[in-house]
Amino acid sequence: MSIIKSFSVGAGDTFYIQHNSSNFTIIDCCLSEDNREDIVKKIKHAHLNKSITRFISTHPDQDHISGLKYLDDNLDLINFYCVKNKVIKDEETEDFKHYCELRDSNKAFYLERGCSRKWMNQGDEKIDPAGVSILWPILSDENYIASLAVVENGGSPNNISAVIQYSMNEGVTALWMGDLEADFMDDIADKITWPKVNILFAPHHGRRSGKIPEKILREMNPDVIVIGEAPSEDLNYYSNYNVITQNSAGDITFDCNGKNINIFSSEPNYSVDFLDSEIVLSPDGDYYIGTLNID
């Protein structure tokens, strides 16, 4: 069993994976003074009895690193994963400065397609791997190199976002794409072997500017697309796919048990019509909205 948690943090991202091993993974953070104490308390609780913890930064936009220093002060992030970069910003927040410190420290592990690391995707006779793999970036790719040049001149870091896959043996496959933009994804679509995906977290918080090209969607054939909390007028709702909208669902929990993914919402009245209904108890007091049974 593993649990994937997507926190409702407004137009930003905060996720964790409570693996079915000694691993615990946090992907991005968007913490404010209003929510950080509660979210970090929940992360600490979920993190109990996990001996290997990593923080993965998809990219250093403020809505993906806000509260990073607070999180590090409370969890001691000894494994910090990011793409290697020289991002500069006109306004350097405390959290951006802390990102740069971690990025340039001996705690950093730099992401690229196919990278391998003990416990991330390598295990041994005592500890199973986390099942996390990196599909992008390809460091030699011209589109990626151009995106690195943009950030070195103070431009948007959206298109240096890593593509992160989590796969559980004979179970769930989930995918994160940071804030990749639609035109960039179109340029790299044929450079990645896109897996079949059960849970897809829409890039750029579900905005039309991050709409996933249809040829990528056809390859991944996602069972559920989670649309983030960008303003509703900016969202693309992926009308031909099953979606969960975080604006309405609040915190979303995916309790992954082999071929059965039980899904919960922090909002008592949220519902969808594409999930199976079974008798399931919530692991943390949220409200059951249905079960996704995968092949």
Which CA distances in Å does 44 have to 18, 20, 63, 79, 199?
Answer: 11, 16, 21, 16, 24
Would you state the pLDDT for residue 210? 97
pLDDT at residue 170, rounded to an integer: 86
- How many Cα atoms sit within 13 Å of 45 on the Cβ side? 10
Q: Which H helix or E strand runs over 33?
A: none
Give the DSSP letter string of 230-246: S-GGGB---TTS-EEEH
Number of domains in the chain: 1
Residue found under tokens 């936009």: 61
Length of the chain in residues, anyone?
295
Amino acid at 38: D
Task: Give the range of the structural domain holding residue 272, as residue numbers without chain letter.
Answer: 2-293
Ramachandran category for residue 261: left, alpha or beta (phi over 0 → left; psi -120 to 50 → alpha): beta
Per-residue pLDDT of the chain (295 residues; tens, 9 = 90+): 899 999 999 999 999 999 999 999 999 999 999 999 999 999 999 999 899 999 999 999 999 999 999 999 999 999 999 999 999 999 999 999 999 999 999 999 999 999 999 999 998 888 899 999 999 999 999 999 999 999 999 999 999 999 999 999 889 999 999 999 999 999 999 999 999 999 999 999 999 999 999 999 999 999 999 999 999 999 999 999 999 999 999 999 999 999 999 999 999 999 999 999 987 877 778 999 999 999 8
Both tokens assigned to 108 = 């950093």
Kindly give, in sequence order, each residue whose CB lies less than 8 Å from that of residue 18, ignoring residues fewer than 6 positions away.
2, 3, 4, 5, 24, 46, 47, 50
Cα gap 161→81, rounded to integer Å: 12
Q: What is the pairing mode between strands 132-136 and 163-167?
A: antiparallel
Contact 15, 6 (CB under 8 A): yes
Residue 114: give its domain's CATH number.
Answer: 3.60.15.10
Calculated CA dihedral for residues 29, 33, 38, 44, nearest 10 degrees: 50
Would the pTM count as exceeding 0.95?
yes
Block residue for tokens 């794409």? 177
Q: Report yes or no: 56 and 26 within 8 Å, Cβ to Cβ.
A: yes
pLDDT at site 295: 83
Q: In whole angstroms, what is the distance from residue 99 CA to residue 102 CA?
A: 5
Q: In what order do the strands lie in the sheet with 243-245?
A: 132-136, 163-167, 173-176, 199-201, 224-227, 243-245
Helices (H), the chain: 36-47, 62-65, 68-75, 94-103, 142-152, 182-188, 214-220, 246-249
Cβ atoms of 242 and 224 within 8 Å: the answer is yes
Q: Which residues pair with 166 in a beta bridge?
A: 132, 174
